């Protein structure tokens, strides 16, 4: 018996049965679907020209099956997509900050004088409508046992400025005042002539305001009254003289002379008994809820020292304000 070499079914089928183009595509699609292979997943090299006859179509299909086999293209086989281009950030336009402009105010009569401070700016409105404004006349206080003042003032490099309203000294960190179990840091001190505070209607020649701040932001100002003496050689105050010696020649410029130290303890009187009450800053913006401590004994300066300050600021004291029923405590 003559033996025949068995040919694959797909070869016999596609070579002997005439197929038109539509039928070939349909049959081949069913075959691939049964095999779990997608036609779109077959990798086929680009042919020079597409088959046109049934025989050419059959041979092309068979060649694809023999060369490729059961191959499935996975997503990982595909070349990675290029990352999307990041959008160009919007350019940031930086502008120089505008300088803070403070309303002009003065101690002279007129539209910018003390009577009109509250009108110079909305930030200064308390100067006109506040109910606890300073300074005020100190009288009619109740005599009580007040906690002692505990000054812990250390030497500080002198940093001094004539700010256009007074002579001001910024004090270095580390100097404090303790009162009633609370500690206040000394921030700065400055001077007024005459004294802004009055005791029983009488003002001193000058006053030094020692501004302190608690860590919670609350302010405490110690007022050291200053009276002049005719005995200039014996009454000259060393701390005040050092300040006068180093007042800058140009207003609103700070000066820090090299190696010059200031000791504020030299400005304090020996007797530290005091009055205390609630008030405000005595200059715009006239912020309230400031505790005031006014020493009953005045420090002594010379007549010449008083005259020297008067030539710079002959009058930089705010007029007395209404007491408005505030309680005043006086150490007995």
Position 271 pLDDT exceeds 80: yes
Q: Decide: 279 and 288 in contact? Cβ < 8 Å.
A: yes
Residue 116's nearest CA partner among 286, 288, 281, 280 is: 286
Kindly state the percentage of the chain with pLDDT values over 70: 69
Annotated active-site positions, please?
165
Q: What is the mean pLDDT of the segment spanning 258-268?
A: 96
Cα 177–chain centre separation: 27
81-134 pLDDT per residue, tens: 666 665 555 655 545 444 445 679 999 999 999 999 999 999 999 999 999 999
Query: Which domains does the chain carry?
Result: 9-76 (no CATH), 130-331 (3.10.200.10)
pLDDT, position 250: 94
Q: Decide: 275 and 216 in contact? Cβ < 8 Å.
A: no
- As a whole number of angstroms, the distance between CA 258 and CA 211 comes to 24
Q: Tell me how crowded residue 294 is: count the other CB atoms within 10 A of its CB.
A: 24
Q: Residue 299 pairs with which residues in a beta bridge?
A: 226
Is 80 buried (19+), middle (13-18) or exposed (0-12) by CB count in 10 A? exposed
- Structural element, H or E, at residue 177: strand 176-179
138-165 pLDDT per residue, tens: 999 999 999 999 999 999 999 999 999 9
33-57 pLDDT per residue, tens: 545 544 444 444 454 555 566 667 6
Position 298 pLDDT exceeds 60: yes
Position 232 pLDDT exceeds 70: no
Q: What is the mean pLDDT of the segment spanning 160-183?
A: 97
pLDDT, position 75: 52
pLDDT band at 215 (very low <50, low <70, confident <90, very high): very high
pLDDT, position 57: 64
Most confidently predicted of 73-82, 189-198, 226-235 = 189-198
pLDDT band at 19 (very low <50, low <70, confident <90, very high): very low
- As a whole number of angstroms, the distance between CA 253 and CA 138 comes to 35
Q: Residue 208 pairs with which residues in a beta bridge?
A: 191, 224
pLDDT band at 27 (very low <50, low <70, confident <90, very high): very low
């Amino acid at each position: 018996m003559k033996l025949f070499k068995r040919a694959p079914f797909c070869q016999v089928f596609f070579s002997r049965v005439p197929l038109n183009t539509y039928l070939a595509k349909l049959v081949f699609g069913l075959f691939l679907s049964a095999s779990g292979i997608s036609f779109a997943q077959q990798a086929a090299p680009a042919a020079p020209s597409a088959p046109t006859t049934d025989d050419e179509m059959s041979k092309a299909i068979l060649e694809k099956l023999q060369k490729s086999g059961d191959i499935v293209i996975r997503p990982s086989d595909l070349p990675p997509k290029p990352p999307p281009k990041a959008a160009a950030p919007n350019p940031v336009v930086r502008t120089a900050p505008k300088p803070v402009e403070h309303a002009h105010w003065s101690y002279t009569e007129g539209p910018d004088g003390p009577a009109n401070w509250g009108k110079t700016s909305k930030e200064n409105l308390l100067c006109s409508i506040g109910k606890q404004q300073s300074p005020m006349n100190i009288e009619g206080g109740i005599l009580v046992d007040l906690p002692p003042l505990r000054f812990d003032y250390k030497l500080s490099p002198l940093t001094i400025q004539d700010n256009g309203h007074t002579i001001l000294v910024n004090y270095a960190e580390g100097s404090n005042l303790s009162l009633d179990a609370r500690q206040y840091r000394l921030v700065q001190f400055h001077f007024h002539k005459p004294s802004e505070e009055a005791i029983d209607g009488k003002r001193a020649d000058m006053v030094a305001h020692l501004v302190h701040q608690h860590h919670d932001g609350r302010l405490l100002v110690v007022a050291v009254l200053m009276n002049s003496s005719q005995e200039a050689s014996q009454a000259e105050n060393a701390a005040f003289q050092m300040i006068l010696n180093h007042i800058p020649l140009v207003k609103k410029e700070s000066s820090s002379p090299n190696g010059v130290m200031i000791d504020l303890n030299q400005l304090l009187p020996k007797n530290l008994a005091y009055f205390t009450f609630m008030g405000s800053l005595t200059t715009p913006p006239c912020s309230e809820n400031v505790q005031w401590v006014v020493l009953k004994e005045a420090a002594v300066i010379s007549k010449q020292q008083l005259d020297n300050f008067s030539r710079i600021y002959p009058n930089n004291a705010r007029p007395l304000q209404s007491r408005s029923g505030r309680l005043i405590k006086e150490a007995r």
